[in-house]
Amino acid sequence: MSDAQHFADIILRYANYSSQAVYQNRTLVSTFAGDNCYFGLGSAQAGWNYTRSLVRAGGKEIYLMPAIFIDPNSFASMTWFDGLFNWDSAWPVEGGALTTARDETWMSKLGTRGYMAAISPLFFTYYGPNSYNKDWIYVSACFRMI
């Protein structure tokens, strides 16, 4: 749970900066793979609820919009986020042309909660064999048009 306190402290440190994104009068917080953030507790639900309580105790509220990588059919049963960031919306995941089909599915499954799409003209990763050992280039819509 010390990770949650550390994270809450970071949020509170930067919440009043003019450059901090704010949505609905709350500090916008996003993560990569937020569904894996348990903060030492048994689930993302417990971890994020605890983190929210720490930020609230510091006088701020968050609008949590993490990237998650699970079946959109699960969204309705999850109450720990305010909206979601669709990391894979910037490029075709299954090959072929980029369409709005994934965006439309996510938005329909989120209902009234927020949705944030990714935009990426070029994205690549390189991690050597002593790390994640991946070397990927994500095909973007910009390169499809050329």
Residue type at position 94: E
Instruction: Express each pLDDT in 60-79 by its tens digit.
Output: 999 999 999 999 999 999 99
- Domain spans, the chain: 2-120
The values of phi and psi at residue 136, to 5°, are: -120, 150
* Pairing of the two strands 62-64 and 83-86: unpaired
Instruction: Express each pLDDT in 102-138 by its tens digit.
Output: 899 999 999 999 999 988 777 778 888 998 888 877 7
Instruction: Express each pLDDT in 11-47 by its tens digit.
Output: 999 999 999 999 999 999 999 889 999 999 999 999 9
Note the pLDDT of residue 146: 41
